[in-house]
Structure 1
Amino acid sequence: MRGARQGRSCPELIPRRRDARQNLDGRTIPDRMTPTENPLQFDPAKKYRKLPIVALAGRPNVGKSTLFNRLLRERRSITDPTPGVTRDPVEADAFIVGNPVRLVDTGGFKLEREGYDDLVIEKTIDTLERADLIVLVLEAGDPTQEDEQFIDFLRPYRDRLLVVVNKCEGGRGEAASWNLLSYGFDSILTVSAEHGDHISELEKAIIASLDFSAVEVDDDETRDIRVALIGKPNTGKSTLSNRIRGTESSIVSDVPGTTRDVVEGRFVYKKRAFAVLDTAGIRRKSKVTENIEYYSVNRAIKTLDEADIVFLMIDAQEGLTDQDKKIAALAHEKGRGIILVLNKWDTIPQVKNSFEAASDRIHFLFGQMEYAPIVPICALNGTGVDKLLDTALRMYAQLTRKVETGPLNQALEKWLEDFPPPGGAHSHFKIRYATQISSNPVRFVFFTSKPEAVGDTYVAYLRNRFRKDLGFSMIPIDIEMRGSRKDPLAARKEREQRREADNKAHPDRAAAGPEGRPDNPIPAGGAKAKRPYARRRPHG
């Protein structure tokens, strides 16, 4: 950069440049960051893929995560005064000024490093290389030594760099911020991520610097299958995430609690796109004492709302625990597909029927999840991972399956014939018809004469017939009973049947015509005479 201070370069962090200047998904990155006109119109209600990537970078505690949440318009990244809270890159899709982008919050750049800092910076560099736009976040005031070194490090990325000075609420520090132009920046933007000052100007600058020509609509048939890796700490979630993505995006360590934010990544398996959500380990509430871990656990649980399928990671040596059962129950309530993943299976003695014994024990301890498939794997060496992903593909097909009302009610007639509802005076009910109201999660509604009389046993019978006859063997099924008046068409059919039966029993009445029928008591002389009009007498 023109005018940048010399002598503070960081040779061990010189970025690995690509000859073709291409993003990881094959899109070419422009040589110069120039504003582009965007004639495309995007619908916020739709999903899109091949989005331009916007990475937020800077030293720790300058407000990157706060700015990330501000642009995303929701609290996704964990924010805390403690420096270095963000470790793994946190990604999310956002709509900015009517345009879809892929936002990435990166870990802070440090000079003095310890623990995971080297790994954090390595992940940050990988993110910067694949980004279409880098938003350098600085703090109002004089730049620090870390700022200066990071500015020098970003010199090769100047063609796609946007400089933002944060914490300028109410104009504080704006005057001093213009001194940053001496580092060779063409322009700077002053904002306050906490209070929202000048965020709209920043959003316009971001969109003007991006190319949206490669963006495509993400329809239901091609949309990503979203898989959440959830479980107790140190069960191998990050190891599995890196294995199936073929990257080292998630930091892996034997220390429980390494992952804090939800780390999202994408991969393709058998021509099907997946999005994997690597979450923080979930411990019992009594063991969660730090604020950072509290927010990490909340973020992990929240991914159940975003995922299609949950890989519940279980340590094969430890087996199913009460905490695993609570996590599975949460996923079951939300209608998510659940695969019980027995990780570290290579550490179990490989004796005959060992897997069958482990499966039987899990089903015995957790009968509610008997439908959930169990897959043994070793995330470290990849054993069983292909079988796990094949199971996920079959499960997603069941989650998105739709049954037409006609075939469903034909099956229902057979079910009611095989096991009729109870016939007691108070427990008798009639199921008139059923329909599917949603897929993923799968929900069915049964219209019945007395919903309160339908017991759990009969609902369980219907759910089992769904699994056996209609191909929903691996997923949770939600069944709702609603009260309903008799179907008008069915009622008319019943009346006609009664009339035909009565005519056969009493042919003389049928010959007499409608006047003689008991269900149409019209006198022989014609319609009933009208009551004569009575004049109202005046009051008083």
Structure 2
Amino acid sequence: MAKPVVAIVGRPNVGKSTLFNRIVGGRVAIVESEPGVTRDRLYQDTEWAGRSFTLVDTGGLDFQESGEINEGVRRQVELAINEADAVLFVVDARAGLNPDDLEVALIIRKSKKPAVLAANKVENFKFETDTYEFYKLGLDEPVPVSAAEGLNTGDLLDRLVSLLPADTEEDYPPDTIKIAVIGRPNVGKSSIVNAILGVERVIVSDIPGTTRDAIDSAFERDGRHYVIIDTAGIRRRSRIEDPTEKYSVIRSLRAVERSDVVLMIIDAVAGVTDQDKRIAGYAHESGRASILVVNKWDLLKKDDRTMNRYTEKVRKELGFMQYAPLIFTSAITGKRVSNVLELVDFVAEQHSFRINTPDLNNLLKEAVTRTPPPSEKTKRLKILYATQGGVKPPKFILFVNDPALMHFSYLRFLENQIRSAYGFEGTPIRFALRKRTKEVEK
């Protein structure tokens, strides 16, 4: 089941990013312990009043000084709005109504998407005059807020979640493996999908998915059920590049949320870009099984070391996904495309693999005996007991004497020991440390 997507739009310096951080609770400011995960976040999962959703900060809409929205900026706004389930439109109550606000409001009204108008930087909540002029935008009653102080954001979120679509269940057989094909525009996502379906031949149906402009292609192979979610709906326009790049992530977020296994498509010619890191990072953070598919391999001049060198480069750029299998394909020639589903089956099994508790504890006991945990002053970490608390992704609960003594590097050591013994290829691993009722997530 996919989380609804909410896009924050508005002019520069109206407080979009401040409101974004306020709503997600400042979690985006936490420094990642894992190297290689991009910190340039445009999105974050959050919840309010029991409703989970993904918030996307569009940020940095560069309007011309004249107040006219150029084609590129208009395209940015349109893409963000069209990809979202609801829109959070932020205006500056202190600066007052701006002609650019009217342009954005017009786009929102034409989209017919549900929207909440947040009048930010309100200093006095007793007087409606601070927000009265924003009624001209035609977007219902503005909600006065102060994102910096956190004032009235609860009322804003109440209004927002009331507009989100109801959760719906997908009608597929319970053993269906849902495969999301994600990546930047023009890396060959649709070509990979078509090549896989062309190889398999037995297409059951093409069903419009909840991802806009995406198609769920359901098919069978050897009695197993699959659904491929193709996210390749955005087409780059010759004069508009950056907007398409930025908002391709929104479509990818949707597909990842609905999937079991992610095919992260990388352009062999372009290599791993910052946008690739963002998109792959969301699959990692969402706990999905993942496969790195380097497409357009036929376009490179190669020698007997090319594949090894390319593998090293990808592993370095996507250091947080060392567990993900890497395959080099050409959707045009069909090279290795037939191997992709074999990898999908494999990582799906790894994603749901479970270790029985005695074997897990024996493994960790041996690991701790060979390499004891580091001590802090006179106190040393003790791992008292372990159990696997879940799958998809595998989650291990470690009962310890003091969670604060666990260093991320030792947790990584334990993860490597588990992977060495049991594989878990293609899937991230999660840990939880517990002392009585306390829990610290990795």
User: What TM-score results when the alignment is normalised by the length of structure 1?
Assistant: 0.45
Check whether the contact 1:244–1:267 (CA below 8 A) recurs between aligned residues.
no
Equivalent in the alignment of 1:288: 243
Check whether the contact 1:234–1:281 (CA below 8 A) recurs between aligned residues.
no
Rounded to whole Å, the distance in 1 between the matches of 2:269 and 2:409 is 35
Equivalent in the alignment of 1:450: 402
Rounded to whole Å, the distance in 2 between the matches of 1:217 and 1:363 is 35
Deviations 1:181-234 (A, max 9, x none): xxxxxxxxxxxxxxxxxxxxxxxxxxxxxxxxxxx9934xxx111110000001
Quick check: 1:482 aligned with 2:437? no
Q: Report the AA paired with residue 287 of structure 1.
A: D
Equivalent in the alignment of 2:224: 272
Structure 1 residues 469, 476: CA separation in 2 closer, same or farther (over 3 Å shift)? same
How far residue 473 of structure 1 moved from its aligned partner, in angstroms, is 3.1
**Structure 2 residues not aligned, in runs of 5+:** 2-51, 54-77, 79-170, 438-442
How far residue 438 of structure 1 moved from its aligned partner, in angstroms, is 1.0
Deviations 1:158-195 (A, max 9, x none): xxxxxxxxxxxxxxxxxxxxxxxxxxxxxxxxxxxxxx
Rounded to whole Å, the distance in 1 between the matches of 2:194 and 2:284 is 26
Deviations 1:128-156 (A, max 9, x none): xxxxxxxxxxxxxxxxxxxxxxxxxxxxx
1:331-370 residue pairs with structure 2 within 5 A?
331-370=283-322
Q: Report the AA paired with residue 400 of structure 1.
A: S
Query: 3-state SS of the aligned residue for 2:380?
Result: coil
Structure 1 residues 427, 232: CA separation in 2 closer, same or farther (over 3 Å shift)? farther
Structure 1 residues 355, 270: CA separation in 2 closer, same or farther (over 3 Å shift)? farther
Structure 1 residues 270, 356: CA separation in 2 closer, same or farther (over 3 Å shift)? farther
Quick check: 1:382 aligned with 2:337? no
Rounded to whole Å, the distance in 1 between the matches of 2:303 and 2:295 is 17
The match for 1:409 among 355, 361, 383 is: 361
The match for 1:391 among 340, 343, 346 is: 343
Equivalent in the alignment of 2:116: none
Rounded to whole Å, the distance in 2 between the matches of 1:437 and 1:264 is 31
The match for 1:315 among 262, 267, 270 is: 267
How far residue 471 of structure 1 moved from its aligned partner, in angstroms, is 2.1
Query: 3-state SS of the aligned residue for 2:313?
Result: helix
Quick check: 1:464 aligned with 2:426? no
Quick check: 1:436 aligned with 2:388? yes
How far residue 360 of structure 1 moved from its aligned partner, in angstroms, is 0.7
Deviations 1:337-385 (A, max 9, x none): 1111111111111311211110011112222222211100011221111
Equivalent in the alignment of 1:303: 255
Q: Report the AA paired with residue 243 of structure 2.
A: V
Q: Report the AA paired with residue 173 of structure 2.
A: D
Quick check: 1:236 aligned with 2:188? yes
Q: Report the AA paired with residue 301 of structure 1.
A: L
Deviations 1:74-106 (A, max 9, x none): 99xxxxxxxxx9xxxxxxxxxxxxxxxxxxxxx
Check whether the contact 1:281–1:297 (CA below 8 A) recurs between aligned residues.
no
Structure 1 residues 363, 469: CA separation in 2 closer, same or farther (over 3 Å shift)? same
Rounded to whole Å, the distance in 2 between the matches of 1:363 and 1:408 is 28
Deviations 1:487-516 (A, max 9, x none): xxxxxxxxxxxxxxxxxxxxxxxxxxxxxx
Q: C-alpha root-mean-square deviation of aligned residues, in Å?
A: 3.7
Q: Report the AA paired with residue 269 of structure 1.
A: R
Check whether the contact 1:262–1:300 (CA below 8 A) recurs between aligned residues.
no
Equivalent in the alignment of 2:277: 325
Rounded to whole Å, the distance in 2 between the matches of 1:281 and 1:330 is 19
Structure 1 residues 427, 364: CA separation in 2 closer, same or farther (over 3 Å shift)? farther
Q: Which has the higher strand share?
A: 2
How far residue 289 of structure 1 moved from its aligned partner, in angstroms, is 7.5
**Structure 1 residues not aligned, in runs of 5+:** 1-43, 45-73, 76-84, 86-215, 251-258, 486-540
Rounded to whole Å, the distance in 1 between the matches of 2:234 and 2:313 is 23
Larger relative contact order, structure 1 or 2 (CA cutoff 8 Å, min sep 6): 2
Query: 3-state SS of the aligned residue for 1:432?
Result: strand
Check whether the contact 2:292–2:324 (CA below 8 A) recurs between aligned residues.
yes
Structure 1 residues 449, 218: CA separation in 2 closer, same or farther (over 3 Å shift)? same
Check whether the contact 2:180–2:261 (CA below 8 A) recurs between aligned residues.
yes
Structure 1 residues 418, 217: CA separation in 2 closer, same or farther (over 3 Å shift)? same
How far residue 282 of structure 1 moved from its aligned partner, in angstroms, is 7.8
Structure 1 residues 283, 469: CA separation in 2 closer, same or farther (over 3 Å shift)? farther
Query: 3-state SS of the aligned residue for 2:360?
Result: helix
How far residue 286 of structure 1 moved from its aligned partner, in angstroms, is 9.3
Check whether the contact 1:437–1:443 (CA below 8 A) recurs between aligned residues.
yes
Rounded to whole Å, the distance in 1 between the matches of 2:433 and 2:395 is 11
Structure 1 residues 217, 457: CA separation in 2 closer, same or farther (over 3 Å shift)? closer
The match for 1:261 among 198, 201, 213 is: 213
Check whether the contact 1:228–1:276 (CA below 8 A) recurs between aligned residues.
yes
Q: Report the AA paired with residue 365 of structure 1.
A: E
Rounded to whole Å, the distance in 2 between the matches of 1:353 and 1:412 is 38
Structure 1 residues 455, 236: CA separation in 2 closer, same or farther (over 3 Å shift)? same
Check whether the contact 1:260–1:280 (CA below 8 A) recurs between aligned residues.
no
Equivalent in the alignment of 1:227: 179
Equivalent in the alignment of 1:245: 197
Check whether the contact 1:232–1:283 (CA below 8 A) recurs between aligned residues.
no
Deviations 1:422-474 (A, max 9, x none): 24435511111111111112111101010011001110001111110122133
Structure 1 residues 289, 233: CA separation in 2 closer, same or farther (over 3 Å shift)? closer
Structure 1 residues 362, 217: CA separation in 2 closer, same or farther (over 3 Å shift)? closer
Structure 1 residues 264, 427: CA separation in 2 closer, same or farther (over 3 Å shift)? farther
